[in-house]
Structure 1
């Protein structure tokens, strides 16, 4: 009995691991179930047994990638520390996750550009909404009012945008940032986002 359960769990995990890589590389439409079965060295019925259909498998992949990441971000924001330190930890945590897991980053990029509203709602429900809500609270603790408006979304956009541009900026002349160490790039990105929040709040105060 234990051996069967162990094999079943292993088979499901293998299918999930293979699917993460394939969906990240080719997108939902670009991957066939037979392709997953071949790469995972399992039968098609085995995949349908574990996940039901391709859409449910894709949701399982997204849940496996996004839910733990969201929990990690929430832990950083809810730590017992000063608002700025928690904010820096949140930004650093997200940057580290995106850099250390290329498949996760590719999947995220695909999710952002694909016109699939039902899937967007699923992603908001399993990860983004909770993180967004807590980020607003943290920003307002850091600087009163800074959690309102575009700031929370702008923070996500800055992190993802900078990392997404790296393949291009490596060959962009005059962009000295790319020559820095990974740790220095990370620290500067955090500093720039914190500065952006402070400057945005000053500009809004001057305009009101």
Structure 2
């Protein structure tokens, strides 16, 4: 049976992902969780605390497997390819995970950026940073890490428009198609064979 805390976090994740931080109140969240507002405050001091814990709850569900695929005992370029496939699958299959990430990029709240990067995403970003250095010790791992994140997020952001663009189709929206082609774009820059 799901705990009250996990129920609050799951419900909040869906609400924050679909409506955004500013559009919902603690009272609204309590109602959606079918609990009284004082009960919600017993678990979370305020909306900002609840939001941070919601981000942690959603992102940590995926972080372990993402880090694991980056740290497998394989060549670095194979780990990178596996990471790209896994992150594309997660973003495709988990719309709340995807929407929360995209909302954070749009909100431009420096405090939440710092929390997301320094607390929620820190281990994954460090592992990705190390992979790029393992592929090419002379590279700029910060630039490659941020470029890969931007590339992956952008392609999922534009996916609803893709079928209407020249050459677009349902096939070009699939996570496998995106992962293969994102890897092919990243491959020349990181010095490993193309994914094609």
TM-score bucket (shorter structure): 0.7 to 0.9
**Distance change (3 Å), C-alpha of 1:195 and 1:146:** farther
* Length-normalised TM-score, structure 1: 0.83
**Which structure 1 residue ranges, 4+ long, deviate > 4 Å from structure 2?**
none
> Which position in structure 2 is the counterpart of 1:3?
none
Question: In structure 2, how many angstroms separate the alpha carbons of the residues matched to 1:20 and 1:149?
Answer: 29
Quote how far apart the aligned CAs of 1:168 are.
Answer: 1.0
Question: In structure 1, how many angstroms separate the alpha carbons of the residues matched to 2:8 and 2:125?
Answer: 31
Alignment of 1:69-88 (within 5 A): 69-88=62-81
> Which position in structure 2 is the counterpart of 1:64?
57
185, 189, 196: which one aligns with 2:185:
196
> Which position in structure 2 is the counterpart of 1:104?
97
164, 171, 179: which one aligns with 1:180:
171
Q: Is contact 1:24–1:103 with CA below 8 Å preserved after alignment?
A: yes
Quote how far apart the aligned CAs of 1:147 are.
Answer: 4.6
Q: Is contact 2:88–2:175 with CA below 8 Å preserved after alignment?
A: yes
- Which structure has the bigger radius of gyration? 1
> Which position in structure 2 is the counterpart of 1:95?
88
Quote how far apart the aligned CAs of 1:155 are.
Answer: 0.7
> Which position in structure 1 is the counterpart of 2:44?
51
- Which structure: greater helix fraction? 1
Asked if 1:152 corresponds to 2:152, the answer is no
3, 10, 13: which one aligns with 1:20:
13
Structure 2 gap segments, 5+ residues each: 192-196
Asked if 1:118 corresponds to 2:111, the answer is yes
Q: Is contact 2:26–2:37 with CA below 8 Å preserved after alignment?
A: yes
> Which position in structure 1 is the counterpart of 2:194?
none
Quote how far apart the aligned CAs of 1:162 are.
Answer: 0.6
Structure 1 gap segments, 5+ residues each: 1-5, 203-208
Deviations 1:132-172 (A, max 9, x none): 22212111222343353521111111111111101111222
* Length-normalised TM-score, structure 2: 0.87
The aligned length equals 191
Q: Is contact 1:138–1:147 with CA below 8 Å preserved after alignment?
A: no
